[in-house]
Amino acid sequence: MSLTDRFSVSLDTELLAAFDQHIAGKGYETRSEAVRDMIRHLLTSGRRLEDGEAVTAMLTVVCDHGVTGAAKRLRTCLIEHEAVVSGSLTIGVDASRDMHAIALRGSAGVVQKVADEIQSMRGVTDGQLAIMPRGGN
């Protein structure tokens, strides 16, 4: 059984009201639950992964097909990195843009390199990488 420590946080009234509204919308019953989740997320997302550590990741990007060759460059990159790309899903955003959700698996260094390559392509915007260690593998 783990021990629980308490601490106090001082916030201005407007910030606390906005926080309460946000966490209520997410379904938290208490501020403590929300703060615990925020701390866990901060510690996990801020953790520096070792280059060779096995990870699973999801990269989401928006590809503007109005930019000449953008879709072809993205497709070519996914094929070139088929050892790391586990799968992808394409969702139409509007007439000229698609959102791509790309699942990646491999060593942290390689996954990050592939994600960086995709995010820096001309015509690719709004990229975000969620990466987590695989543990036991």
Q: How many residues does the chain have?
A: 137
> Which amino acid does the sequence have at 55?
V
Q: What's the chain's average pLDDT? A: 90
- Indicate if the pLDDT at residue 16 is higher than 70: yes
In whole angstroms, give the CA distance from residue 78 to residue 75: 5
DSSP code of 13? Answer: H
Report pLDDT digits (tens) over 71-129. 999 999 999 999 999 999 999 999 999 999 999 999 999 999 999 999 999 999 888 99
Write the CB contacts of 117 (distance below 8 Å, at least 6 apart in sequence): 77, 81
| pLDDT at residue 47, as a whole number | 61
Set out the domains of the chain in order of their start, with CATH numbers. 13-45 (no CATH), 54-133 (3.30.70.1150)
Residue % of the chain over a pLDDT of 90: 69
136 burial (CB, 10 Å; 0-12 / 13-18 / 19+) is exposed
Q: Burial code of 12-46, b = ≥16 C-beta within 10 A, e = fewer?
A: eeeeeeebeeebeeeebeeeeebeeeeeeeeeeee
| pLDDT at residue 136, as a whole number | 52
